[in-house]
Amino acid sequence: MKLILNLFLVLLIGCNSEIQKKDKTQLSDSNKNYSIQDVLIETRDGAKISAIIVWKNKTTEPRPVLLQSTIYVRDKGRDLTTLMESADKGYVGVIAYARGKRSSPSEIWPYENDATDTYDVIDWISKQKWCDGRVGMFGGSYNGFTQWASTKKIHPALKTIVPYVANRPGMGLPMENNVFINPNYEWAFYVGNNKFLDTIAGNDRQRSRDMQNKWWEKGLAYKNLDSIDKRPNKWFQKWISHPSFDDYWQKMAPYKEDFAQINIPVLSIDGYYNDSQNSGLYYLREHYNYNPNAEHYLIIGPYNHFGAQRGGFPEVNGYKVDAAALINTKEITYQWFDYIFNNGKKPEMLKDRINYQVMGTNEWRSAPSIDDMSNESLKLYLTKEKVEDIHLMSPQKPVESNFHYQEVDFSDREIWNNDYYPDPIIRDYRDMGNGFNFISEPLTESILVNGSFIGKLTVSINKKDFDFGITLYEVMPNGEYFSLSYIIGRASYANDITKRTLLKPNELETIPFSNTHLVSKKLSKGSRILVYINVNKNPFSELNYGTGKKVVEESIKDATEPLKIKWYNDSFVEIPIWKD
């Protein structure tokens, strides 16, 4: 599990050793073919944004501008290379760095100013003689977030965005379903310590692991993480002061009705095994929800955070992907821009709004919406019946009410709960240490699991809150377990992520869940579906002791009484499937 979270961290901060080596490469004399400008752009509140502009020397007329807005400063190699690629394609390339980065004299606060700053950068670009009044944006991760941030209020010059694995602060990081997770702690130093990137802090994952393990072993409050590390983390402290999806997070990017006014074409690219998939698909779902006629396309396949930005890798978390899943993200992006700006042909693979690779079939499919990816669903109840050492899931709701009983001792640091992370994707074991496994009858025909599973938990606990985990697997005929999807969440936010509603001790409570990871996978005849439920208790996120106090302030002193939970047998999962 430690290795898993380290991989998560590498994906999230957007760096690895190979990329760093490339970034250090000095550019050749070919620079003389380009005009390169280094500018400071003033925002409406007087801040300065550092930017680089590149166009071909032979360019004589104004062109559309392709803008990347980022917090990652790699201006000695990688950034200039991508700007030159845009220029080679007939555009003007611009990279604008977040407030406080590179030549900007301001203080660095990730996420907080990107919405207004990016608008002001687009406004400045639109007035330059080399711009024909049209701007498009592209890029991944943080760069994906800034694109959506720019649509909080759309500038008339912005004509399209192409976000890959877009982050949504407060939605997928630094908390997931209101549970704070650890990777952004170290990332804050990586992007916030200096004007460029603090690769020493960013690569010192052992220090963060040691800090995390000491916090876990000592049982300190989550807010005291940086006291263990002995270096204050002002960004972390500010984030954890907003455990609800409140105005602090809402104002960073489009929220609710903001999506109704986003009428520009959008191409999103994401991955089934992208850690922050919840962020990227949040934008898509809300865009369709408030603007049903939006021209918004999605390409999604078996990619992790990096893979979606680079067209996929032959292997992800030990799973060898279908050959058809490997695409050319960069080529598709420029095809899209030619489609928007030059009346070119729409990228061939955009057959419909939702374009997804079905794992295990070596083929792509398309649908007009995420809901239309499925034509049936499997509703399975978590029964008390057992086959050998495992409980059954049944399509019939149990006639008599019953429950599974679990106790969780939060003072016990030897036992971890909820090993949900999909690495490896295929494994030859299931977690039998704690929690409960539920398995279906063997499938009588092959099906596609297509979409995001949902469900409802009926529980009773002796405390006021708890964090839960649910993981979905295919149990293949050979007995191996294929990780399909998962969710971690906080019970007190299950009905409203903006407002915490504590549970009533020892009373029946209904906890709906839906923000699970989307997936498409062919399940063969004879396969079974397995659902694993547990209380989330491990060193990789904050620990909810259930007192009802602010979770970041709870400590092992609040673990005087174990959590006693009854999981009732009318709890169910509903899995979207496609039958040909």
CA 274 to the chain's CA centroid: 6
CB proximity list for 381: less than 8 A, separation 6 or greater: 393, 394, 395, 396, 397, 398, 569, 570, 571, 572
pLDDT at 2: 38
Which segments of 359-518 does DSSP mark as H helices, in order? none
Q: Token pair 């923000």 is at which residue?
A: 515
For the stretch 438-483, pLDDT in tens is 999 999 999 999 999 999 999 999 999 999 999 999 999 999 999 9
pLDDT of residue 371: 97
Task: Identify whether the C-beta of residue 455 lies closer than 8 Å to the C-beta of residue 470.
Answer: yes
The CATH code belonging to domain 2-371 is 3.40.50.1820
Distance of CA 483 to the CA centre of its chain: 17
Q: Are 333 and 138 in contact (CB under 8 A)?
A: yes
Every domain of the chain with CATH number 3.40.50.1820 lies at: 2-371
Q: What is the predicted pLDDT for the residue at 419? A: 87
CA nearest to 442, candidates 471, 479, 470, 472: 479
Which regions of the chain are under pLDDT 70?
1-30, 432
Rounded distance between C-alpha atoms, residue 415 and residue 409, angstroms: 9
- Beta pairing partners, 577: 376, 449
Cβ contact 113:47 at 8 Å: yes
In angstroms, the CA 133 to CA 123 distance is 9
Are 244 and 500 in contact by the 8 Å Cβ rule? The answer is yes
Q: What is the pLDDT of residues 123-132, one digit of tens each?
A: 999 999 999 9
The architecture that CATH gives domain 376-578 is Sandwich (2.60)
Please say whether the dihedral angle defined by the alpha carbons of residues 332, 333, 339 and 344, taken in this order, is positive or negative.
Answer: negative
Is the alpha carbon torsion for 266, 302, 519, 419 positive or negative?
A: negative
Question: Which letter does DSSP use for residue 251 in this model?
Answer: T
Predicted TM-score (pTM) of this structure: 0.94
Please report the sign of the dihedral spanned by the C-alpha atoms of residue 242, residue 248, residue 254, residue 257.
Answer: positive
Parallel, antiparallel, or unpaired: how do β-strands 158-164 and 131-140 relate? parallel
